[in-house]
Structure formats: structure tokens, C-alpha cells
Amino acid sequence: MRKKIVAGNWKMNMTKEEGQALISEVINMANDEVKSSTVLVLCPPAPHLGYAKKMFQSQSNVFLGAQNCHEKASGAYTGEISAPMLKSFEVDYVVLGHSERREYFKESDELLKAKTDQVLANQLIPIFCCGESLSQRQAGSGFIEFVCGQLTNSLFHLSAEQFAKVVIAYEPIWAIGTGLTASSEQAQEMHAALRKHIAAQYGEALAQEIPILYGGSAKPSNAPELFACPDVDGGLIGGASLKSRDFIDIAKAIK
Ligand code: PEP
């Protein structure tokens, strides 16, 4: 049975007070309303990581995620955050390769390969983001191969044992923060193609174990249909993760 995960990417939002309020609301609602088998991952900006973990230490299904980390373990990289530091703050997951980082910070497949190695070497779980642009989607062909290629280039050097720890997030760039959502048919088509691509490299049994999340303007109204797709194992949620009610309602869409 694959893990079902709903992860909230706060991006560069929330002061300390706002973050504390959001986390306590999420914890209270999660206790009452979310199935204990649904894994919740909160990915606040780095300054929140220290206190956030303490707030949900006793929650068995709420985990802490970072939004990025550096590809080196330490050194003269002012302003950067390393995987060993994240581990020491009891972070569990690290989002890698978000399209905003690929676009604004020019993160390449090669760089993401090194970041993935760092994350895994520090016993953290990568949430590896992939997805096509609007123009690639509109071209009508080749976009599935492009997204599969992102996995090949950044992840397929991993051993099967390492790959088994990875979580994939398919995030069509045209759907992120735009209000446009992939239809459940579009999401299922890509998720199934990614799973097939993983199976060709690592075998069917391992491919069946890898959670593949959908991201891109997911909200309470569209989450039930998206999460009902056989190859969609939850979501990476941006805007809607900043509102406790919406985030929890999305998590409740996992059946
Ligand atoms: C994201 O940033 O990962 C994301 C999916 O954003 P949104 O839900 O706001 O589209």
C-alpha cells in the first residue's frame, strides 16, 4: 500500500506569529478530521523549522519539510542551508526542484542530482518536483517524455534502495499558482506514465511503492477528483496550504 501524502508548501509566506497560528490550527483540525494513515508534511520557510517541529512532535502523522537545501554538506556558501543542518533540526522531507527554483534560481537537472544525493545521504526524504511548461503542454506532444526525462536526469543514478525513499511531485508549471488545474485525466495520464518510466528502470514492484503527488492549484473542490485517480497519491499544495481549513479539507479528500 503506497503512502498517501498531502504536503503544504508555504513558499516565502508567514511571519512567526502567523506560522504558529497556522500550525496549531492544522494540528487541531488534523487530530479530529484527518485519517491517521494520511501523512501531512508542512514545508514552511527555513526560519520556522526550529519551533515548528516542537509544535507537532507528538503527532504521529504530521512531518516537517524544508523547501530546498544546498548540494554541499557545509562550507562558504553564505545564505545557504545544508542537509546536515536540516537533519539536526529534525526535518523529515525536503522539496527539491520546485519549478520556481528551476526558473528563478536556474536549478538544473544536474544540480538537482547532487541535491538529491545530499538529501538521501542525510536520511532525509526528497519530494522531487517535475513538470512541463505551458508551451510544452500546448505543443501537444513530447511533454510526457520531457517530464520522464527530468526523473532520468536527476534520479536514475540512484540505487533501487535509495530510489525507494523518494517521493515524486508532478507539478505542471502552467497550473502552479495560476488557478488552472490539470484535469484528473491529464494528471492520471502523467502519473501513470511516470510510474511506467520508473518501472522500466527499477521494476514494477518498486514503481508501485513510490508515492507520486499532484501539485498545481489543488483546492478542496478539485482534490477529491484528483486524489481518486489510481496513480495520484496525494498532493503538494501551495496557496491553499496557507489556510488551515482548505489544507485540511484537501487532506480529507484522501480516501
Ligand atoms: C506549489 O507551489 O507547489 C503549488 C502547487 O502551488 P499552488 O497550489 O499554489 O498552485
Residue 9: count other Cβ atoms within 10 Å of its Cβ.
Answer: 27
**Domain edges within the chain:** 5-252
* Third-level CATH fold of 5-252: TIM Barrel (3.20.20)
Quick check: 177 pLDDT over 90?
A: no
218 lines ligand 1 (CB under 6 A): yes
Quick check: 216 pLDDT over 90?
A: yes
pLDDT in tens, 96-106: 999 999 999 99
CA angle 137, 138, 144 (to 5 degrees): 25
Query: What integer pLDDT is reported at residue 179 of this predicted model?
Result: 84
Query: What integer pLDDT is reported at residue 112 of this predicted model?
Result: 98
Task: Return the beta strands (E) in 131-237 as ranges.
Answer: 167-170, 212-215, 234-237
pLDDT in tens, 38-62: 999 999 999 999 999 999 888 889 9
* Backbone dihedral angles phi then psi of residue 5, each to the nearest 5 degrees: -130, 135
Cβ contacts of 246 within 8 Å, gap of 6 or more: 219, 220, 240
Query: What integer pLDDT is reported at residue 176 of this predicted model?
Result: 92
Query: What integer pLDDT is reported at residue 59 of this predicted model?
Result: 86
Cα 168 to ligand 1 centre (Å): 14
Question: What percent of the chain clears pLDDT 90, i.e. is strictly above it?
Answer: 95
Kindly give the number of the ligand 1 atom that is closest to the alpha carbon of 175: 10
Quick check: 178 pLDDT over 90?
A: no
Residue to mutate, 236, 242, 250, ligand 1, most ligand atoms under 8 Å from C-beta: 236
Quick check: 180 pLDDT over 90?
A: no
Cα 98 to ligand 1 centre (Å): 9
pLDDT in tens, 118-144: 999 999 999 999 999 999 999 999 999
Query: What integer pLDDT is reported at residue 198 of this predicted model?
Result: 98
235 lines ligand 1 (CB under 6 A): no
List active site positions.
98, 171
